[in-house]
Amino acid sequence: MMKLLVDTHVVIWHLEDNPRLSIEWSNTLENPAHEKYFSIASLWETAIKINVGKLKIEYPLDHLIPAEFKLLPVSVPHLLNYQPLPLHHCDPFDRILIAQTQTEGFIII
């Protein structure tokens, strides 16, 4: 069993059967043995991108997270791991996903 933190685009690609998501990762997401998480930070990022016109989805925002996914809040331990991350990537949403992955021992997709 794996614990997976799934990025916004991966969830969208999975829901839309987009070929950008490999068969391997699609099968991994379909496997009920794996625990799948979606960060509240990703939901926030999605709301921002929809608001500024950088993203369009065909369903309401509250339907983005598949029922078998657990919503992961941002916690103080996540932020403590966020602070020392090297600035390889300046996107704050990507950085919090990395911090959450490290804190929780997840695999990020």
Query: Kind and range of the H or E element at 50?
Result: helix 40-51
- Backbone region of residue 105 per phi and psi (left: phi > 0; alpha: psi in -120 to 50; beta: other values): left
> Given pLDDT bands bounded at 50, 70 and 90, which one contains residue 103?
very high
Q: Which amino acid is at 70?
A: K
pLDDT tens digit sequence for 12-47 = 898 888 999 999 999 999 999 999 999 999 999 999
Could you tell me the residue ranges of all domains in the chain? 3-108
Of 33, 34, 28, nearest to 3 by C-alpha is: 34
> pTM value?
0.89
> How large is the average pLDDT for residues 56-82?
91
Domain 3-108: top CATH class: alpha beta
